Chain A
Amino acid sequence: MALHGLLALMTTMHLAGVLCNVESTFDEITPQIYEPSWMYKCVPDEGCQRSEHPRPTLSDNSTSAFFDSLDVCRIVCGRFGGIWPKPVTAALSSQTVKIHPNYLRYDLLNVPAETRELLVEMTQVISNNLLAECGGHVTEVVDTQVVVIIVVKTAITSLNWNTDEQYMLDVQTRGGEVSVHIEAETIYGARHGLETFSQLISSDKRDFSDVEHCGLVLVSGAKIRDRPIYKHRGLVLDTSRHFIPMVDIKRTIDGMATTKMNVFHWHATDSHSFPLEASRVPQFTRYGAYSGSEMYTTEEIRELIHYAKVRGIRVVIEIDAPAHSGNGWQWGREYGLGDLAVCVNAYPWRHLCIEPPCGQLNPANPNMYRVLRNLYQDVADLLNSPPLLHMGGDEVYFGCWNSSQEIISYMKDQGYDTTEEGFMKLWGEFHNKALQIWDEEISAKGLDPQPVMLWSSQLTQAQRISQHLDKERYIIEVWEPLNSPLLTQLLRLGYRTVSVPKDIWYLDHGFWGRTVYSNWRRMYAHTLPRDEGVLGGEVAMWTEYCDAQALDTRVWPRAAAVAERLWSDPTSTVYSAEPRLQRLRTRLIARGLRPDAMSPAWCSQHDSKCL
């Protein structure tokens, strides 16, 4: 064990100019052949600063520590080092100790037996992430023993809004041994503790290194107490406008786990395509997938849900309805079930839907509800308990329903006028019937009724929502822009909400129409009301103009900015977060993601110099 930074410094040769004060021409100079090898020092209130000279000498006798590696500088510099999202409290040593994954042991003796298997998987993820810091191979072997003792107090393995995610993390280095204590109520809290532990570790590689040699260093002492502010910290991914391969979804989940997000809101279907295999209704993918290779099999979905669980993330499947349904529902007639959906792929589309292709479920057809029940059964089979379903419910176009004689006569039978309010009743009826089906299906599994999520819409407007949607049952995901009063109104009415202001937290904005791009600063600066009714927020990746090719750079590091807003809700400035976010970016790269650059690399080598 050694003060890593200083050691490296001592081996640095003194160079300096040899030709001082002697006039010479450019040609006469024989250049010293060396590569730039910058060093970094941690300057209080400024952050990590690159050395003045590419081969710094010891003449700078300030007391600040020097580091070969910018990443190592970051994990000890500043009150919160390289931890993202920012923990509630942290006391970090400014010294580091070299470690190697081979000498890292997890002690799970104080963990309830029924959770141990899951926790073992969680520790494997962390160990792999440590290897990834060195590109999979830690060449520098040290035999410092690192023991991670994990204490979990409850045997709970379900994930929902009541899951206790807090944790305590202590790191102590004594006599050539490192002991790490993680204590949490649930394994999910313990996982967050492990994640934070991994963020106390960096490779000692130089910035833009060209050598294979790589060792790991750990902050030698730490005391961290942490818990999230908001319970619901989500990311929406749309896999209907473009199919996103499983490997890319998993990589996105990895990024979410790194930033302690806990809800993967899977906008699995839309009018464009239906890639989700439903074992009871194979027609959905047969008529709705882009191709045989652009669909998710039941097996893959199960695996993804488990993959997410091991990373502390709950998967919410959204079956958007009654609008945003089309391809995948167009086979009813052929099978003698009548029209399950209307205006599917209708053209011209402008009066029938928000964007092509159109399609809306047919609430007049009882067979539609039968098929929907089968679909809900499949979803309930897939999701972990307690299952959370997102029913969609946005952007219903009455023009579409109004174009169907079948629906108009059904409305007449029900005593609904073909006025706006009449269509509202039809719409509300759809959601309540759908909810009843969902309730029946999960009650068949022996579960109590669960709340469902629903997008805000005309139906959820303040003067109307209470007539149609029970506030005990529906959680409203509000996507209205910032200047809309809807969120406050719904909170006043007692609804629980999840906030996704589209003009701030939509990741697709800025690439089409008049939408404006929000960079991470803008996303970070937005705060949510602190209200019991605000469960949290989400950041949304709609994929009309994005597919797997562009996914990572559209999502990261911006989603991380939202993750910290939701976990820590910090009062500190955007600017003070930047060095930690730079560290998070290099960590995401090590874990195989392709986050966008936030600034010229010069700025990340000179914290606070690019204000």
Chain B
Amino acid sequence: MKMMSWGDALWLGLTARFARVGRLRRAVLMLAAAACTAAAVLYWKQQTDDSANRPLHSMYSGIEPQWSWLCQHDRCERYQASDTTTLQSLQTCNMLCASTQLWPQPTGPVSLASAAVPVRSDRFSLKVIASPSRDVTKHINEAFIVMQNHMRTLEHGVVGENRRSDIGPPRDVLVKVSVNGSGDPRMRLDTNESYKLALRPSGNSLVVDITAHSFCGARHGLETLLQVTWLDPYAGSLLILEAATVVDAPRFPYRGLLLDTARNFFPVSELLRTIDAMAANKLNTFHWHVSDSQSFPWKLDSAPQLAQHGAYGPGAVYTSDDVRTIVKYARIRGIRVLMEIDTPAHVGRAFGWGPEAGLGHLAHCIEAEPWSSYCGEPPCGQLNPRNPHIYDLLEHVYREIIQLTEVDDIFHLGGDEVSEQCWAKHFNDTDPMDLWMEFTRQAMHVLERANGGKAPELTLLWSSRLTRSPYLERLDPKRFGVQVWGASQWPESRAVLDAGFRSVISHVDAWYLDCGFGSWRDSSDGHCGPYRSWQQVYEHRPWATETPESAAWPVEGGAACQWTEQLGPGGLDARVWPRTAALAERLWADRAEGATADVYLRLDTQRARLVARGVRAAPLWPRWCSHNPHACL
């Protein structure tokens, strides 16, 4: 049964409902040309005689430096508090002035009140109205607690300041969630992530209706609800918009961030924080490039030798329990964990124990020198495709990945930067490209076995020589997809897409977050540059600038890639955020608009949200510009 939400009613033209909240101020219609969706933003003002809602403002009396922001001509202007009769914080002004302050911008109609009321995290309650399964209900409950905890974290920001009493009592908020659709809470390739949110006053309290077709959609709704809730530092209280409706769905189904934990090790806490920040931006795929030639930190239950020989040290290991923790944490946040054990290249010492165990050489060229002859960066290593044990081992690895992550519709085989020289040195009877093709087939074969005899719906390979003609033709586009990382100007993305391979875009010239930090070796090659600014990340829309040869390109989405040759735990957040937030809106909303004033404003607010969540995101501009946003554009 489908309940008619307040938002639906609004769009059926029942504007009479506005009268109860206030008079219609204006309507702005924005057209997102490429996405062909129209987002209408409506504002209405509180009744001026409703004194209960007014005390957000008060007289300035302090001697401390203090600013007040007033919404004038659709922008927040800063005033010396002593020069104005009202005292309003920047946060509250932003939330109630012209921009939606939502990130990523919803793709459907949005209407937001321009009045706020005080709330408290412990006065939110949840009611699951409809749910297709117990599992989904359980996940909704947990996601609700996550949201409440974030609100609590915000409230901790008022330590030392007393909550002002004149803003009125905090309202109760009842959150009603209905999920009609999939009983599987996992993020799947076919998950419908759309949701509708309607927030309205009801007597002295507020009622929120979130309707979705999946747990993930409902969770996105809670995330949006969190975004219309903020801490007002002057009031010393959380505030929430008095009314809102949001209709929303993502443009692309795959929205990812890759983190490389092999070049440098990142403790579990760093991964969890990153995943939480991803959830704040409605990203849905944590692409975990867990191993590489430098290290193998994951201690598998079925093959602990890999970490024993491959980890940097006893404290640089992810156990199965760690992986489970990460997967569960991500699941509640609507995120799939896509673990990649890169093969056949990008392997190292972790595979060096074969001879000692009587299994022969599992890999060749391990730490071979000079490295430049056998791989792209030190240390070298490449699996031995002629050793049958390697496929046994991979089957164990794949089985454990699928069991732990419970992701069985999508898989990543790695498959980039194979050194033909390395194999040519050991197998001079066969074309290394044939070896590579054969290896890929066999890997696919054991993947099927590991997945209960069934190939995952989408098995990704990195773009490489193997995904270029004449080898591309030998791969089956029904089984393989390609994560395209070559520069956007290179013809390879076109070729892959024109050939009908489902693709994830990770163009090095737009979405590689490691670029621009110079070379970490004495030799000057092997690094990319310059730094990709958040504006560049945001404005990259290769699907809009190029036209497909025939039918629409099967672009599944994209992922930002954080390789970590020159990044350790301490610097992770500032490198990844807010740039990956820019990517998130590109993939969620895909607005035709570039990095305009409105985008600056909303991203600046989103960056502040991330910082409040404990993420060390880098600033967009000087703080004065946050205080005076329109003066810096």
| Chain A interfacial positions (CB closer than 8 Å to B) | 16-17, 19-27, 29, 31-38, 54, 206-211, 241-243, 272-273, 282, 285-292, 294-295, 327, 345, 347, 349, 356-357, 510-512, 516-519, 521-522, 543-547, 549-550, 552-554, 574-575, 589, 593-603, 605-606, 609-611
Contacts and interface: CB of A to CB of B under 8 A. Distances in A.
Given A17-B358, A241-B624, A36 B313 contact: yes
10 contacts: A17-B356, A23-B358, A32-B308, A291-B65, A511-B531, A517-B517, A522-B518, A549-B617, A602-B348, A603-B378
B304 A31 contact: yes
A549 B616 contact: yes
B616 A550 contact: yes
Contact of A209 (B265, B313, B392, B568): B313
Contacts of B616: 549-550
A29 B357 contact: yes
Nearest to A544: B622
Nearest 10 interchain pairs by C-beta: A208-B313, A594-B570, A17-B356, A597-B568, A292-B64, A553-B571, A210-B315, A519-B518, A35-B314, A550-B574
B531 A510 contact: yes
A549 B574 contact: yes
Given A597-B264, A601-B263, A292 B314 contact: no
Interface residues of B, number: 83
B520 interface: yes
B295 A553 contact: no
A206 B521 CA distance: 25
A552 B573 CA distance: 12
A519 B314 contact: no
Contacts of A16: 356
Contacts of A521: 518-519, 522
B486 interface: no
A286 B64 CA distance: 6
A602 B631 contact: no
Secondary structure type dominating chain A contacts: loop
Interface of B: 62-67, 80, 262-265, 293-295, 303-305, 307-317, 348, 353, 355-359, 367, 369, 371, 377-379, 389, 392-393, 396, 516-523, 529-531, 533, 564-571, 573-575, 611, 616-625, 627-628, 631-632
Contacts of A356: 624-625, 628, 631-632
B574 A517 contact: no
A35 B619 contact: no
A347 B631 contact: yes
Given A24-B357, A26-B396, A292-B65, A549 B611 contact: yes
Contact of B314 (A21, A206, A289, A545): A206
B409 to A, nearest CB: 27
Contacts of A597: 264, 564-568, 571
A501 B573 CA distance: 29
Given A549-B573, A611-B523, 16 more contacts: A17-B353, A20-B356, A21-B358, A25-B392, A26-B392, A54-B309, A207-B313, A241-B622, A288-B65, A349-B631, A547-B619, A549-B574, A549-B619, A552-B570, A597-B571, A602-B379
A518 to B, nearest CB: 7
A208 B623 contact: no
A462 B620 CA distance: 37
A17 B353 CA distance: 9
Contact of A596 (B521, B570, B617, B628): B570
Contacts of B313: 35-38, 206-210
B517 A519 contact: yes
B384 to A, nearest CB: 13
B522 A575 contact: yes
A611 B358 contact: no
Nearest to A292: B64
Contacts of B263: 600-602
A519 B66 CA distance: 40
Contacts of A27: 392
Contacts of B264: 597, 600-601
B355 A17 contact: yes
Nearest to B575: A553
A20 B358 contact: yes
Contacts of A54: 308-309
A287 B396 contact: no
Given A31-B308, A356-B632, A511 B533 contact: yes
A305 B208 CA distance: 53
A547 B232 CA distance: 22
A272 B622 contact: yes
A36 B521 contact: no
Nearest to A274: B65
Contacts of A207: 312-313
A208 B312 contact: yes
A510 B530 contact: yes
B56 to A, nearest CB: 18
Contacts of B521: 599, 610-611
